[in-house]
Amino acid sequence: MRTFVRAGLAGALACGALVTVLTVGRDDDDPAPPQGPYVALGDSFTSGPRIPAQTGKPAGCDRSDRNYPSLVAKHLALDVADFRDMSCTGAEIEDLSSAQSTDDGVNPAQLSALSARTGLVTLGVGGNDIGFAATVQECVKKGAAYRLTGSGRFTGNDAPCRAEYVSDGADEVTARIDAAGERLAGALSEVERRAPRAEVYVVGYPAILPPGGNRCADDMTLAPDDVRFLDAKERQLNSVLRERAEAAGAVYVDTYGPSVGRDACAARDTRWIEPLMPAADAAPVHPNERGERGMADAVVRALRTSG
């Protein structure tokens, strides 16, 4: 996703022991997973900002050599020449087909890495198109004010942020999600045109906030009903990503289900997503190394069952 606070939020603790072997195995009767060349497309949930070691060019894309595409490539034992990671922090769907300027360099149009030889494509994008990171930050500000003014005791409003986006029956975030779905449909059509033999996997977003709402306290100052609102919008985005993937003949990879209970409000030794003040090497409100491993497991599982 596009926005994260760059200054003063570096994690203080490393993200546990290094594990580069995925937990998903393969039975002899399972269909063979698709092979490369493999091209990974996506935004910062794919690239893995601040997870060491950062690698690739341009440096402004913030790619980690332990992000889920790198782990999937290792699982498939692909040669270096058969793996291209084009993911980039801040990428929107339009950046798949256009060059993207970053804080440190320009990333070529992500689709430029595709060819008739490409055998596997993963795509994780859409969050920046709906401005989800900025919405979370706005809701955190509203949540701080909510707590300072009695946590709804005087106003009776446990969702001060939702009113900024939903008014008189109009839902601004839903409108953005629908528009992103239209753009994704066009992008998937272009992927098929450029890489006609590739198997395409659209990777959804892991749980960023708890579905119940009440467990988010110290790490994310959000009013409880705003937590529910934001989680509902994320699930709505994932639903549209699934619909568009399936309509295009692609496979949707669910990372939300496996990550429930491992959101940014969970304990630091179990969570996949870091809160606004990360305790592990990761960008605020982004996957840590554990989260990238979990997403890789979900992708490998989809490769195994649909290949």
Give the phi and the psi of residue 107 in degrees, each rounded to 5.
-90, 130
* Catalytic, out of 47, 87, 259, 286: 286
d(CA 232, CA 218): 21
On whether the CB atoms of residues 41 and 86 are closer than 8 A, the answer is yes
44 is catalytic: yes
* Catalytic, out of 44, 47, 70, 87: 44
What angle (nearest 5°) sits at the alpha carbon of residue 166, between those of residues 163 and 168? 105
On whether the CB atoms of residues 97 and 68 are closer than 8 A, the answer is no
d(CA 26, CA 29): 8
Q: Which DSSP symbol is given to 42?
A: E
Bridge partners, residue 251, by sequence: 201
What's the Cα-to-Cα distance from 299 to each of 7, 123, 130, rounded to whole Å?
Answer: 32, 11, 24
75 is catalytic: no
Catalytic residues: 44, 286
